[in-house]
Structure 1
Amino acid sequence: MTRLGGYMGQILRVNLSTGKIWEESLDEECLYNFLGGRGYATKILYDELKPKVDPLHEENKIIFMSGPLTGTEFPGSGRISVSSKSPLTGTIFDSSMGGSFGVYLKKSGFDGIIIEGKSEKPVYLVVNDGKACLEEASPIWGKTTSQTEAFLKRKHGNFGVVVIGPAGENLVYLANLMSDTRAAGRGGLGAVMGSKKLKAVVVGGQKTFNIVDREAYKILLRKIRFTVENDPITGKDGNFARFGTAGIVHRIRSAGILPKNDFSGEALTFEEADMFSGETIREKFFVGRKGCYLCPTACGRKVKVGNNIVKGPEYESIVMLGPNSGFYDYEKEILPLSILCDELGIDTISIGNILGYARSVGYISNFEEAKKLVEEIAYNRSIFSRGVKQVVEKFGKEAAQVKGLELPAYDPRGAKGIALAYATSNRGGCHLRAYTIAPEILSDPEYVDPSMEEGKAELVKKMQDSYAVYDSAIVCKYHGLALFTKLEFELDDLAKILSAITGFKFTNEILHEIGERIYNVERLFNVREGFTSKDDSLPKRFGVNLTRLLQEYYEKRKWTDGIPSDLPKNRRPDYIQKGEIVVTPLMRLRFPQVQVALDMDADIKTITRIAKETYKGGARIIEAGTPAIKRHGVDKLIPALRKVAPEAIIVADMKIADVGGLEARIAIRAGADIVAVLGMGGNHKINEALGEAIRGDKAILIDLIDCEDPLTRLEELSRELKDKEKWVVFCLHRGISEQMKTRGIYDQKSLILEARKKAQKFPLAVAGGIREGTAKEIASCGVDIVIVGSAIYNSTNPKTATQRILEEVRGNYKPLT
């Protein structure tokens, strides 16, 4: 473990039957193949649990597991994965909980805690700086979740705390775990803790972990934070930041999949939905945001009702406790039910599903009866305490569930992707195994027709595999809305930052393979428990035929009748070399460089012939000049240049002046590494182009041509774009028409020196009539990139001309100190 970063290297094991507590080292090969979090816990449960073990028996285990991103500066890296065999579904089950508990767990000295056995009396576990003990929990047994947390924080101070409420103590199959108003909500894992007489886990300390390639890690962090912070959904001023997750209420309603009256298929009116929409909550109740650890989105709500400021529920809780249960008043119905569930430690999604069912069969009829039923369920005094599936025979109506897990707040009738995701989820009816709502309804990363079957099997598989990686790393899936740029659900950014942190060599392909491995092991666990392909189905009352999609899905997974052939094979761990991680094109360059500007009105054959000669002469930055782009277009020109100069940095001199994001995207899609944008005018186009470049691991060149005061503009932009030095080049430029009236820019040495100073850590390029004999003057000013055009492409031997100018530049370069 000494080579690795991102891990503490130790697991804590606790046997509550014997009171024995011991440590064991993480398995390095297992880490490389399952990462951590959900994945690592899945492997442990598969290897160690006896088949058909009762989830509430002492032989069942509950595992708290962090991931290699936990406790780093990655946005929202405080999450924790809780895994066990579920009493509600009988499947393997994990729940990813937000907040900051994961950070405190690592600070305590451990990556995870594995708990087995059963205590004779109520206890809670305390882990502090590598030492652990069990303490008596009788004073807090029977207390609500908030009362328990308050007691433990008063006693232990600044520690992370996870607790169960009365529902967990009473072995209710819907019981959850709570930590600072965040929940590991689904599957009844709170009942597993309750069956062990374990009331809480308290963790903290001052332990730290290593990061292998800190320079690459910091650059990647800037990229990822920039991407998340500027996304229209997850950004600092995005939809979730402004309106919380309830900001999607109207979009889900418009799509016709927001459930009403126990998934009746009835449509909500705008007025009904607006009673609990994110916009209405913001206007009437909102007083502040609440975010998980280091999360810029902060989608949680603080709301004021009367004189009290309380946690506002998320979209799922609002819709399931609201219209699906027949309630619409946010202040008097939905919010009180949500608070009650959190205090009792019970899953709001399952409860909302049950309330809707109970109301539809006449078991309850109003809010007071609903509230009473929730309390009865939580204290295991109701026929619904074991979930909605258990009451179907009594009432004769099909329940909205898959594999025993109550469906969440998206009606599968209106979106084929989410229907297939529900059916094939390894933990039952869940939207978080593959959130196909993003492409099908939110058009993220792009729109996919929800009514179409074509491509949905591939879509669901890829999302399931990607999300298995997210849950193992551990990353909030909402950030996937920002980081995924195409329907491949690429994991390149995650692969790079995980490599930088851990020292393992990860790629997009390796991470997808890990996700698939995790999903297959979970499936094999469930097969061992007796589940078959017949369980991959929706209730008949939805009328959704998945026969063809399931067959296609099994084929994509290479499963025979829904069963993987065997345990997937592990890879041998591989490790990165120093300097191997490249985030932007600028990291590939060693300055100084000569950039050959092909500002030519010529055919592609001529342009590429010259480019090939300059590449042979040592040029490693080749510019597709504006005249050439306008004549041939980037889609033809840039691939042609790439073919003759495969290792070169290709610059597209787009001279972007208007729609920065779109124009940069066009050039990047064609294969450009750097896109030129004009520095004059407003900053919006620059920020848009920069956003596209950062997301695509590319860079921009800000051309200061025709700026009235280029030095002032340079100073202004370098200040605004601070920390973006790896993605931005500034260019001091005297245009061709101006060159014809002067000697060229080389005679303005004082201007260049001042520009070099104002550019600070940003690379500086200079262009304008530079040729052999004058290039040395430019290089001596500390200019990193000397741009030469006609002096090379009009020469009789472009290769030799490039060699001589490059030699001149390298011999006279005086870097900024």
Structure 2
Amino acid sequence: MPCGYMGKLLRVDLTERRTWAEELDPEAARKYIGGSGLAAKYLYEETDAGTDPLGPENLLIFLTGPFTGTIVPNSGRHAVVAKSPLTGIWGEGDVGGTWGIMLKRAGYDGILVKGKASEPVYLWVHEEGVEIRPARRLWGKDTFEVDELIRAETHPKAVISSIGPAGENLVRMAVVMSDGRDGRAAGRGGLGAVMGSKNLKAIAVYGTKRPAVAEEEKLRAFTKEMAAAIRERTQGMARFGTAGGLQAMEELGDLPIRNWYQGSWPEGAAKIGGQRLAETILTRNYHCGACVIGCGRTVKLERGDYAGVEQGGPEYETLASLGALCLVDDLEAVALANEYCNRYGLDTISTGSAIAFAMECWEHGLITREDTDGVDLQWGNGEAMLTMVQCIAKREGFGRVLADGVLAAARAIGPQAEEYAVHVKGLEFPAHDPRAYNSVAVGYATSNRGACHLQGFTHMFEKSVTMPELGYEEIQDRFGVEAKGELTAKCQDLMCLLDALKMCKFSLSGGVKVTHMIDWLNYVTGWDVSLQEFLKTGERIFNLKRLYNVRCGISRKDDTLPPRILTHKRGSGGAADNLPPLGRMLGEYYAWRGWSEEGIPTPAKLRELGLEEYAD
């Protein structure tokens, strides 16, 4: 087994209440590296188009990468993967914190869970063994309570991944939370509902082992040099976190406002942005394991259910989704909504999107007080937003309609409501507007988990990041059209590599290039990976995820964007008049990928990537 890996996977069958260790195949590790890359192999081979995402046969995968648990900067990450109950296709979450590091210290590279327990349980994974423990007394408790209770009965330094009431109630936007009050989340696609469907409340991990490293001295010297450079380049991120970009995004025309309808909101953005947060409720920074940036925020509120309690602060995506998208300019209300989401185990992006969707339906008279149990869903109503977050998590009142996502909610309300449901393949948009960056239009349309900025990250190449190894020595024109399909494909493959290695994407803002990643990989594992092999691995991973979706019925007909994004101009701000020409860029994207005109990887492409065994 190469260095950087523990060499073992933990298999769990909850139906049979059985656990066993399985050796990690070194050839599979070289071919897919780890994280969601390696998870793609297992999900493809062990589930299929007929798998019920909330059935016992769905496979819930937790996987680390070779960087996890080493000194490589910004590598304290792990992946959570399953068939998504929100979209019915490929589902993955990428999580920071320390849980993945502690899993490797317990002796495992990953955990693969199938089946359904007959009653609520949690897993206790440590160096001496694995236990399936009863969790009925934990059922109904929030993720912060669970974290404290499980550590009290396992180990004070154990790290917990858990679900809250939203996951228990099979809310299709439920998340898997980890690291207690720091609030790290596998946040998209309803993976918390998969965990809840298995009656699995939590997984606690603790150990003291360390992954071996092939070239310790070279790794240490290179990491020392690069860590200093990354810190220097990311001082703004350290000072204000992701929230610090909110006002700049508003000026660029990137911030979604009023359910993607409004173009500008400068006064509101100033009230909820990172600068305002730093001046008012911020108490300290938070670093994930091995992080040299420290973009996490810890805050303390003066009002609400958790006044005076330190808690994980809202990120940019949360402030945008629960704030700007709903026209809520009350920072404490948004921060409290974030706290509710963390405790209940809800995706802040999908939750904010669902509430903004409901507010627009209210505006147009499609729903009334009679439908919402008296909740006044007018734009900007922070109290109504807070109420609705809780209703969604509990599946109470109108929350029952929103709990399955905006696509299902629109179908329940009626045809006119579908105009206000902003999603791709059932996954609600994150908070970056394709009208502000043409490449993002292609990225959202083709992302394997549905609308996602992190699976392409192309907006950063049109704003601040260069990558000579990919042919991008200058910042790209965000309103340009030529070669945006190529840019998207190359960036998607690169993001697959970061997600397989388990390195934070903000490393790119710190000046990390492809050659740096390869050096770290070779120093850790002892391999001799070349640039060509490395890039081909990223392409292989992306195509295997696409194959999974093709098997679930996905094709060109699904690689599209909502009419609002393609036909409605923002009208003001930094992207006032741009509409992305998706069709033109999509054709170029398919051609660059070597796919058919219907978006299907061709047999020739699969042979080139060593994926011919998966050609159905």
2:425 alignment partner in structure 1: 403
Which of 272, 276, 279 lines up with 1:276 in the alignment? 272
After the TM superposition, which residues 579-658 of structure 1 pair with which residues of structure 2 at under 5 Å, given as runs? none
Alpha carbons of 1:221 and 1:267: their partners in 2 closer, same or farther (altered >3 Å)? Answer: same
Out of 253, 258, 281, the residue aligned to residue 256 of structure 1 is 253
Listed as ranges, the gaps of 5+ residues in structure 1 are: 485-489, 573-817
Aligned to 1:205: 207
| Separation in structure 1 between the aligned mates of residue 443 and residue 18 of structure 2, nearest angstrom | 41
Deviations 1:535-578 (A, max 9, x none): 11000121243111000000111001211124456679xxxxxx
Select which of 532, 548, 555 maps to 2:584: 548
Residues 14-47 of structure 1, C-alpha deviations (whole Å, 9 max, x = no match): 0000011111111111111100111111111111
| Corresponding residue for residue 327 of structure 1 | 328
Measured in 2, the distance between the counterparts of 1:370 and 1:286 equals 22
Residue 294 of structure 1: aligned partner: 290
Q: How does 1:378-393 map to 2 (within 5 A)?
A: 378-381=393-396, 382-393=400-411
Q: What whole-Å deviation, never above 9, does each CA across 1:724-783 have from its counterpart, x for those lacking one?
A: xxxxxxxxxxxxxxxxxxxxxxxxxxxxxxxxxxxxxxxxxxxxxxxxxxxxxxxxxxxx
Are the equivalent residues in 1 in contact too, given 2:483–2:588 (CA < 8 A)?
A: no
Secondary structure of residue in 2 paired with 1:133:
strand
In 1, the alpha carbon distance for the partners of 2:85 and 2:526 equals: 38
Partner Cα separation in structure 2 for residue 570 and residue 256 of structure 1: 38
Measured in 1, the distance between the counterparts of 2:354 and 2:221 equals 48
Q: Residue in 1 aligned with 2:343?
A: 343
Larger mean CA deviation between 375-384 and 351-360 belongs to 375-384
| Cα distance in 2 for residues equivalent to 1:95 and 1:518 | 15
Tell me the secondary structure at the aligned position of residue 225 of structure 2. Answer: helix
1:521–1:568 Cα contact (<8 Å) kept: no
Which residues of 2 match residues 153-192 of structure 1 at below 5 A? 153-156=151-154, 157-180=156-179, 181-192=183-194
1:536 aligns with 2:532: no
Q: Which of 503, 515, 518 lines up with 1:492 in the alignment?
A: 515
Confirm or deny: 8 A CA contact 2:218 2:523 kept in the other structure: yes
The amino acid across from 2:141 in the alignment is: K
Residue 534 of structure 2 is aligned to residue 480 of structure 1: no
Aligned to 2:89: 91
More displaced stretch, 120-129 vs 387-396: 387-396
Q: What is the distance in 1 between the residues matched to 2:298 and 2:227?
A: 24
CA contact (8 A) 1:417 1:456 kept: yes
Give deviations 1:346-373, integer Å, cap 9, x for gaps. 0000011111111011042233332222
Q: Give the partner amino acid of 1:46.
A: Y
1:507 is aligned to 2:534? no
- Superposed CA deviations along residues 220-271 of structure 1, whole A, max 9, x for unmatched, are 212321221121xx2xxx11101111111122111112111101133112x2
Q: Distance in 1 between matches of 2:549 and 2:610?
A: 24
Q: SS state of the match for residue 115, structure 1?
A: strand
Counterpart of 1:405, as a letter, is L
Report the 3-state secondary structure (helix = DSSP H, G, I; strand = E; otherwise coil) of the residue aligned with 1:230.
helix
Name the SS of the counterpart of 2:561 in structure 1.
coil
Q: Which of the numbers 418, 421, 432 marks the counterpart of 2:440?
A: 418
Output the CA distance in 1 between the equivalents of 2:531 and 2:248. 32
Aligned 1:62-81 pairs, distance under 5 A: 62-81=60-79
Aligned residue number for residue 459 of structure 1? 487
Deviations 1:71-105 (Å, cap 9, x if unpaired)? Answer: 00112222110011000011111111010001100
Which residue in 2 is equivalent to 1:653? Answer: none
1:309, 1:207 → 2: CA distance?
Answer: 31
Q: Deviation at 1:312?
A: 1.1
Q: Give 2:577's aligned residue.
A: none
Residue 30 (structure 1) aligns with: 28
Aligned to 2:139: 141
Give me the whole-angstrom Cα distance separating, in 2, the residues matched to 1:9 and 1:406.
Answer: 37
2:143 is aligned with what amino acid? T
Counterpart among 548, 554, 557 of residue 593 in structure 2? 557
Number of positions where the alignment pairs a residue of Structure 1 with one of Structure 2: 558
Q: Deviations over 1:387-409 (max 9, x none)?
A: 00112232413211001000011
In 1, Cα distance between equivalents of 2:24 and 2:236: 40
Alignment partners' CA distance in 2, 1:367 and 1:211: 50
2:384 to 361, 364, 369: 369
CA deviations over 1:174-195 (Å, ceiling 9, x no partner): 0001112111111000000000
Q: Secondary structure at the match of 1:202?
A: strand
Counterpart contact for 1:384–1:391, Cα < 8 Å: yes
SS in 2 for 1:383: helix
Query: Separation in 1 of the partners of 2:607 and 2:50?
Result: 22
What secondary structure sits across from 2:444 in the alignment? helix
Q: 1:221 maps to which residue?
A: 223
Aligned residues: CA RMSD: 1.6
2:116 paired residue number: 118
Letter in 2 for 1:496: D
Q: Which amino acid aligns with 2:160?
A: V
- Map Cα deviations across residues 366-391 of structure 1 (whole Å, 9 max, x no partner): 33332222222112331111100112
Task: Specify the SS of the correspondent of 1:361.
Answer: helix
Structure 1 ranges of 4+ moved more than 3 A:
441-446, 566-572
Q: Give secondary structure in 1 for the equivalent of 2:272.
A: coil
- Report the counterpart of residue 776 of structure 1 in structure 2: none
Structure-1 residue corresponding to 2:317: 316
TM-score, normalisation: structure 1: 0.67
CA distance in 1, matches of 2:228, 2:531: 20
User: How much has 1:444 moved relative to structure 2?
Assistant: 5.6
Higher RCO, Cα 8 Å, sep 6+: 2
Q: CA deviation at 1:199?
A: 0.2
**2-structure distance, mates of 1:464, 1:553:** 11
Give the letter for the 2:271 counterpart.
M
Q: TM-score, normalised by structure 2?
A: 0.88
Distance 1:357 1:209 in 2: 46
Q: Per-residue displacement from partner, 1:672-728 (whole Å, max 9, x unpaired)?
A: xxxxxxxxxxxxxxxxxxxxxxxxxxxxxxxxxxxxxxxxxxxxxxxxxxxxxxxxx
Q: Which residue of 2 aligns with 1:630?
A: none
Measure, in 2, the Cα distance between the counterparts of 1:153 and 1:568. 48
Shift, 1:442, TM fit: 4.1
Please tell me the residue identity of whatever aligns with 2:587: Q
Question: What's the CA shift for 1:166?
Answer: 0.3
Deviations 1:640-662 (A, max 9, x none): xxxxxxxxxxxxxxxxxxxxxxx
Q: Taking every aligned residue pair, what percent have the same amino acid on both sides? A: 39
Q: Does 1:526 align with 2:549?
A: yes
**Paired residue secondary structure (2:262):** coil
1: CA distance between counterparts of 2:101 and 2:251?
A: 39
CA distance in 2, matches of 1:29, 1:291: 33
Q: Supply the distance in 2 between the matched residues of 1:262 and 1:538 (Cα, whole angstroms).
A: 15
Q: Distance in 1 between matches of 2:227 and 2:284?
A: 22
Opposite residue 279 of structure 2, the aligned amino acid is E
Provide the C-alpha distance between the structure 2 equivalents of 1:461 and 1:88, rounded to a whole number of angstroms. 25
Q: Secondary structure at the match of 1:414?
A: coil
Counterpart amino acid of 1:319? A
- Comparing 371-380 and 20-29, the one that deviates more: 371-380
Q: Tell me which residue corresponds to 1:102.
A: 100
1:448 aligns with 2:484: no
Amino acid at match of 2:510: A
State the alpha-carbon separation in 2 of the partners of residues 565 and 202 from structure 1. Answer: 42
Please name the residue that 2:455 is paired with.
Answer: 433
Deviation by residue 1:443-495 (Cα, 9 ceiling, x = unmatched): 666432211112211111111101100001010011122234xxxxx511111
Structure 2 gaps of 5+ residues are 303-307, 368-376, 468-473, 567-579, 612-616
